[in-house]
Amino acid sequence: MSIDGITGLDHLVIATRDLDAARDAYSRLGFTVTPRGHHTQLKSANHTILFPTGTYLELLGIEEQRPVNAHYAAFLRQREGIAAIALKTPDARAAAGPLSAAGFPAPESVDFGRPVELPEGTRDASFTITQIDPAATPAGRVFLCQHHTPDLVWRPDQLEHANSAIGLEALVIAAADPDAVAATYARLLGGTVTDRGAARVVEPVGSGDGQVPVLVATPDRLHWAWTADPAFATPLPFFAGFVVRVADPVKAQQALQKSKVPTVVGGGVMRVNSPGACGAMIAFAQDFDLNALIP
């Protein structure tokens, strides 16, 4: 069982040094990218890629360095890629106590928002986040995200993608010790750990929005899928990439061919290396089989 107040994975934060280039890169891959938003208090800007399953990707750039965005600034001095993952919660403040009791210290929650341009005018999307002490979450920063205005985030006209993407199918973590990392995320997210040779999979116990497995594997196993990816030079463990479920693999392959981004196809999975996706390795599949990513 997950810690009280956590209901699944909400989104992945992909930090980038050039937000325009990131927007263009993900558009070329066949994703519908939302217009730019500005986090007034956080002094950051973003584009999102929304899925009808209730999860999304966030492309994040720093507009002005402030203490509140110091983590992302420090991350970007090293590389681009998945700098954080956000977990779903109905009450970010109430979840802080159970988190700390379970060994995941959480400092004071933060409220913030961003304007959203709508045909009828501008409204503010608002959120509350609770950060977990990064020392407690191997691979990267994890925080809880409470959406106060979900109708302003998941807009019906922004949920369809040329590559037919419909949701996040798995988060991929590269680690030298998959046992230790998987055990931490199983305790945080709930679920069971399945042994897959040199890999471990944290399988969620529930179903529905945000119930996304976490694949933790050694670099040599992930190297089999994403050959010679430069991201493997990153100190372990780290959030390496993600799997996207597509409704139509033909449309996905056509979108990737049109993008001219190098793509490896095999076992029903289409794989894009991190240079084509702002530091994140991506796999696209209709019927996801872990054997297509790890031997």
* Range scoring the smallest mean pLDDT among 209-213, 250-254, 268-272: 209-213
Residue 1: what pLDDT? 52
Residue 79: what pLDDT? 97
In tens, the pLDDT along 62-111 reads 988 888 788 999 999 999 999 999 999 999 999 999 999 999 999 889 89
Strand ranges across the sheet with 281-285: 192-196, 199-203, 214-217, 165-174, 238-246, 281-285, 269-272, 263-266
Residue 207: what pLDDT? 65
- Model confidence at 206, pLDDT cuts 50, 70, 90, reads low
Max Cα-Cα span within the chain: 54
Residue 81: what pLDDT? 98
- Model confidence at 113, pLDDT cuts 50, 70, 90, reads confident
Q: What is the mean pLDDT of residues 5-23?
A: 96
Count of CB atoms within 10 A of residue 44's CB? Answer: 26
Q: What is the mean pLDDT of residues 217-236?
A: 92
Mean pLDDT of the chain: 91
In tens, the pLDDT along 25-48 reads 999 999 999 999 887 677 789 999
Residue 191: what pLDDT? 85
Q: What is the mean pLDDT of residues 262-275?
A: 92
